[in-house]
Each structure stands twice: as C-alpha cells, then as structure tokens.
Amino acid sequence: MKRTFIIFLIAFTFIFTHCKRMDETEGSQMSSIDNTIIENTIKELVKKYGSKNEFRIEHGVKQAASLWMNEDGTAEEFQQFCLNHFINSDEELDKLFNRLQTNMEYIRGYFRKLNLELNKPLALDIGEKLPIDQDFGAYDPSAHFEDDFYKNKIAFQILLNFPYYSLQEKIKLAPSWSRKQWAYARMADIFNSRVPAELNQKISKCLTDADSYISEYNIYMGNLIDKSGISYFPADMKLISHWGLRDELKSHYGEPDGLVKQNLIYDVMKRIISQEIPEMVINNDSVKWDPVENKVLKNGKEIEFKQEPNTRYKYLLDNFKAMKAVDPYCPYYPTYIKRKFEQEFEIPQEKVYDMFVKFISSPTMKKVGELISKRLGRKLEPFDIWYDGFKARSSISQEQLTATTKAKYPTRESFQKELPVILSKLGFSPEKTAFISSKVQVDPSRGAGHASGAEMKSDISNLRTRVGKDGMDYKGYNIAIHEFGHNVEQTISLQDIDYYMLAGVPNTAFTEAWAFVFQKRDLELLGLKETNPDKDYLMTLDNCWSAFEIMGVSIVDMEVWKWLYANPDATPEQLKESVIKIAKDVWNKYYAPIFGVKDEPILAIYSHMIDYPLYLSAYPIGHLIEFQLEKFLAGKNLGTEMERIIKQGSILPDEWMKGAVGNVLSIEPTLESTEEALKHIK
C-alpha cells in the first residue's frame, strides 16, 4: 500500500511539473496553438477513449502543440491530426514503435555510412586532398531530417504518442521502468527540438572546418632547435597537436636529456596557445624553429615570419556561434551547455563541475604531487600534469616499445589481422571474437586516431589510427588499442541490444571508460608481462593523476563556454585573451599550490576545445567510471563481464553504473583507493 501511494505521488508530481513546463514553452516561437485548442483537443480525446490513457493524451497533445508551427496547418487541422493519430491500444502502440525503431535504424545507419564515405579524403591518409573534399566533408546528409519529419508529420506522431521526459523526470521514474518503457522514452527523445536544416548544415560545416584544421596541425619535431641550433628529435618525426606533442612529452620521463626535450615541447604548446607560433612552421618541414626565442631559420639564416592570426580561436568562436544559433529552436534545452550535459551526458553541468572541483581540491592531490616530485628527484614542472611514471611501461624505453610495435605491426593490415588475437587475450569467447573482429575495419588516419561506430547492424565500425611507412610506432599502437576499446563497445551495444532505441551507452564518457580499460592493457596485449607487486597501487595512482589533469582542462572548457554565452559578440582576439586568463585562473586556484608556480596556460592546449565542443568532460568522467569498472573486474573475465554490462544500453548513467558495478558514479572510490596506494608507494 505504501509503495502504491509513493508511485501515485511521483506520477502526480511528474504530471504537474511536466504540464507546467509544457505550458511555459507554448509562448515560444515554436508554437502556433493556443491553450484553448490544446484543452479542447485533450477533452475530445478523453471523451473518445476514456480515462485509461489520460496521462498520455494530455502529455502528447501538449508536446505536439509546443512544436507545431503555422506552416504545419491551422489550429483545427492540429486538433484533427491529434484525433486521427493518437493510439489508444497498447498493441497498436507496440506495432508503431517497432516499425519506427526499424526505420530509424535504416535512417541513422545510412546517414552515418554516407557521411563516412564523403569524409574519407579528409579523415583518412589515402592520398591527395582536393578543395572539393572540404565541401563534401562539410555536407551533412542528415541536416534536413528534422525538417522533413515535421513536414511529413512523422515527428508529430511520435510527439503525440510517446511521452518525453526531462532529465529530472527520468531520474525520478527510471528505477521502476521496464526495458520497453526505457525504449519508448528514447523514442520520445528524438524530437524535442525543431532546428532548421540550414542551421544544422552550418553546424556541420563549422565542425568539419575545425576538424580539418586540427587534423593538419602538425609540428615537424626534427626542425625544432634550441638557441645553439641543436635538434633533439628524429628528422622524420611529425607530431599532431595536442595529442602527439603530449604523448611525446610523456615518453621522455627517465631519459638523460628528457627534461630538455619536455621543456622544448612545452614551449611549443605555449606558442600555440598564445598564437605566437609562426604560421609557416605549422605542417611545414622547410624551416627550422627555435620555440624558446621564437625565431625561424631557413638555410641557417633567421627570417621574418607572421604569427598564426588567432586561427585557433576563430574556429572555436565559429563553433560557438553555430551552436548558439539553434538555441531558440530547443525549448527544453535552450543553450548548448544544457544540451551537452542534460540532454547528451544526462548529468547536470552543475553536478559535473562540483564533482570535478571536489576531486582536484582534495588534499589527496597534494600528496600525489609530492610523491611524483620525490620520484622525479626535482620540483614539479607544469607539464608534469602528464607524468607517466606510474605506468608499467615507464620501465621500458620508448625506443624499445616502438621497435616492438613496428616489428609486430608493419602495416595497417597486420593490425587488422591481430584483432581476433587481442579479443581472445581479453577473454572473449571464440564465437564472439570472430563476430566482433568481422565488424571492425582498421583505416589509416590523417589525425591522431578515431573510432566511428556503426548505426545499423548490417554495417561495420571503423578504427582510424596512424601507421607510418616503417610500421606502427608505440604511440600509434597505444591509441589504436584505445580506439579498439571504443569499437568493441560500439559493436556489442548495437548488435546485442534488445531494443534498437537503447543501442549504445549512456554517454560518451562510458565508451571512453571502456577505451581506457583496453588501453591500460596495451603492454599485456604485446606479451610484455608486468611482475611488479605494486602494479595495482601504481595503476590507481596513474588513474587518479590522469583524472586530476583532465578535470582541470574540462573546467577550463566549461568556463570558456560560460564566458562565450556572456560575450557572444567577442572577437577571436578577445576570446584568446579570455581562454588564456581562464586557464591561468584555474591553474592558480587548483594546480599552483601543488606545482609551486603560477600563471601557467597549459590547461588550454587541448585540441578538443576547438573541434569537439564541450566534449572534454567525457574524459574525466570516463576515468572515474573506468576505476569503478576495474575494481569490479578484478579477478573476473573481462570479455564476459563487458558483454553483460554493455547490454544494458543507453539508460541513465547512475542506473547503468548500479547495474554494472553495484554503485552510482562517484569520485570517492578513486580518492579512497589513492590514499591506500600512497601508503604503499614511496
């Protein structure tokens, strides 16, 4: 009896708050239907079908009305549409749902397939890029999807028959939902906005342009020199910013001249952030560059140069403007910040921010910093946010690792053939190993690496990674294993799911977590065994420090977007100044007390800020998820557990975590285990 009463209260609260929210949207530019028509339509439907589905009727009519525009028909035509298309029968509603999800799989699948093919010349290292390729890459085949489905009224049939739930409502109701109810809710999530096609196309163009800019942002390391003209890197080394630069910096811990190389790389990063970098040294091997003095030499003589003209910040600003332009067409999530966190991540931005601040403010971080300083035998440098000495591979030189990977994977095809071996080593059954391997294709990437998941069961996922002419170096291998983790998750969460509308994971942080789980086993997969009895403690410290680093970067990303919304008319120059100020402010507040140096801009180097708007929070959340997964997976078969956990699909993050490991997402397991590790590692 008590349980029934509680359910009644929740339902009553939901109806009240949702109807209030729907009423608040009716005055927006979306709706051409007034309250009188809405109430009359609800009364007519209740009169026609009775009170059994009164909640769905009230909900559906208000939903449809909130996005009905004059071009869709008159008020009388709206009312007639609702009377004709509301489905009262559970059996008929099931039929409609099944037909819709089948067709959505085709639509999403072929949109993704077409987009992938059109972007091949930009994304893959398969030959010359032509100017026309940029135009095809910027074309979004799905740009007119919303327009078309509102015009043909399919969107309104979904709005009328499948209740849409806000994040707060999902959090309240989801624990009692069945799998079918979850799938119905995901169907309703498709149409909660009405963005004009030209704006979707603009977003696609801005993102493509930014991604192309980043994909070609390479530094020829052999051409870097110090003030004496000495070069410290191989002549043929070309590194993409920021990934390649960061990973190269990480690789030099423990080397005799490692600190010199690391400082040189950090000077390059600071020139990129400040846009003082000479434009002619970007993706160009014809000149020498001293990043400390910022001098360019050609044929041994210093030459004049132009700095990059705030291009980095122009792309960021263009993305902001494109995203902001759709705000008026998204009544439930009227800013890109809300769309990213509440709609996509399904974790409120305020909760994410507070969680990150509590983590990086923890006294535990100072203790870890002191341990790193002790292990290095020197004071911390700003770039030690990427300290890599807790990993097992820190005892193996980069040259040894690269020699191993190049011998093992001389070509892209050789890595493709290794996929079944990798899966078998991770504990997948022979049948599952063969199936997943058949659904993943390895491609040669122009960028650092990327995984693209299939959207329909008949398609394959793509693993993009860099493979040099003389084979796959260790950095490329490490990234490839990370991306393969994405592909395995993408394959299982599509192929083994009970309802297509639940395909995937709660958000990108969860696929990042699985990628981290794979990446952490890269040496094991190479056949290099770690016998250190402190291995688990070291892994804990590594996870904690990685989360500490990327949480600060993510806070900078969030603060930049808040600033952009407060200053929508900013110039690239003003944006650059603000990004640097925000990065320094975050550094001074949370990192300077540990590192002992102020006003460092390093947290602004991440390329994701430029071509993946507000994506960065997925990484620290992913580290927290990964840690909870790893604790649970200890002593268990990874392949078997991964299959079980991923089959939950795209439900709420905390519900997924409870089903996976028995607890909600939290910073506490990482911090508590780190404190324990600090007692053992000196």
Structure tokens at 352: 């994410």
What is the DSSP annotation of 200-227?
HHHHHHHHHHHHHHHHT-EEEGGGB--T
Alpha-helical regions (H) of 119-196: 120-123, 131-138, 145-151, 154-161, 167-173, 179-188
pLDDT for the residue 393 = 60
Q: Are 476 and 447 in contact (CB under 8 A)?
A: no
What letter represents residue 494's amino acid? L
Q: Is 189 exposed, middle or buried (0-12, 13-18, 19+ CB in 10 A)?
A: middle
DSSP bridge pairs for 290: 295
Distance, CA of 603 to CA of 269 (rounded, Å): 10
Q: What angle do CA 298, 303, 304 make, to 5 degrees?
A: 145
Among 423, 422, 495, 417, which residue's Cα sits nearest to residue 455?
495
| Side-chain half-sphere exposure of 595, counting CA atoms within 13 A | 22
Local structure of 142: helix, strand or coil: coil
Q: pLDDT tens-digit profile of 214-255?
A: 989 999 999 999 999 999 999 999 999 999 999 999 999 988
Distance, CA of 316 to CA of 499 (rounded, Å): 37
| Side-chain half-sphere exposure of 634, counting CA atoms within 13 A | 10
Structural domain boundaries in the chain: 2-88+145-188, 216-274+276-309, 335-390+530-680, 410-506
Q: pLDDT tens-digit profile of 16-45?
A: 334 444 444 433 445 689 999 999 999 999
Q: pLDDT tens-digit profile of 322-364?
A: 999 999 999 889 999 999 999 999 999 999 999 999 999 999 9
Number of neighbouring beta carbons within 10 Å of residue 649: 23
Q: If you average pLDDT over residues 393-400, what whole number do you get?
A: 74
Phi, psi of 235 (to 5 degrees): -60, -30
Structural element, H or E, at residue 466: none
Among 197, 244, 210, 202, which residue's Cα sits nearest to residue 122?
210
pLDDT for the residue 561 = 98
Distance, CA of 423 to CA of 637 (rounded, Å): 12
Task: Classify residue 398 by its DSSP letter.
Answer: H
Radius of gyration of the chain (CA): 26
Q: If you average pLDDT over residues 160-181, what whole number do you get?
A: 94
| Position with higher pLDDT, 128 vs 506 | 506
Distance, CA of 82 to CA of 69 (rounded, Å): 15
Q: What confidence category does residue 392 fall into, taking pLDDT thresholds of 50, 70 and 90?
A: low
pLDDT for the residue 6 = 31
pLDDT for the residue 22 = 42
Q: If you average pLDDT over residues 391-396, what whole number do you get?
A: 66
Q: Are strands 301-303 and 288-290 parallel, antiparallel or unpaired?
A: unpaired
What is the DSSP annotation of 499-513?
SGGG-S-SSHHHHHH
